[in-house]
Amino acid sequence: MDHRAATALLELYHDLDAEIAAANPRCAVSGRCCRFGEYGHTLFLSELEAEALLEPGLPAGAVSPDLCPFQIQGLCTARDRRPLGCRVYFCDPAYAERQVEISERFIGRLKRLHDTLARPWNYRPLHHFLVAAPAAVNAEGGKVARDFA
Ligand code: SF4
């Protein structure tokens, strides 16, 4: 990812994190929201976000649409690069309305950023990007197994 895109994306994440911190949603730190199959939801992200998230390669292990490969032993190992959807989502019911409002506003900003950088929006579920990731290798240099098409 080029410097201009990386800087703009980090700035957006920084502003988003500040708004979420001000809203102060509760997190039970269960890690369930990153185990998509168990939790029953799908993480969508944009082209630039996927590029940032996947830049260092994938962690070891099979990739599945049911969980995020960056969650290891219940923790996110991609915290600095995690996409908007990960940052904004909390299962705190008291935050639900605020979450929708913040999410819509920042997705709008993210779309405008893609336009400014002449990048396709390409907003898709995480596993679509994982499947398409070229020659994904784990930290040990081994190929990552893919158990879905
Ligand atoms: S990137 Fe991190 S926060 Fe987002 S789903 Fe994966 S493990 Fe969870």
**What confidence tens digit (pLDDT) does each residue in 16-72 have?**
999 999 999 999 888 888 999 998 889 999 999 999 999 988 887 667 889 899 998
How far apart are the CA of 76 and the centre of ligand 1, in A?
A: 5
Beta strands in the chain (DSSP E): 44-45, 71-72, 75-76, 124-125
State the maximum Cα–Cα separation within the chain, in Å, rounded to a whole number. Answer: 44
Ligand 1 near 76 CB (within 6 A): yes
Tokens 């879905």, residue? 148
Nearest to 145 by CA among 33, 84, 62, 67: 62
Helix (H) or strand (E) holding 49: helix 47-54
* Ligand 1: centre distance to CA 118 (Å): 27
Task: Please state the pTM of the whole predicted model.
Answer: 0.87
Q: What are phi and psi of 113, to 5 degrees?
A: -65, -45
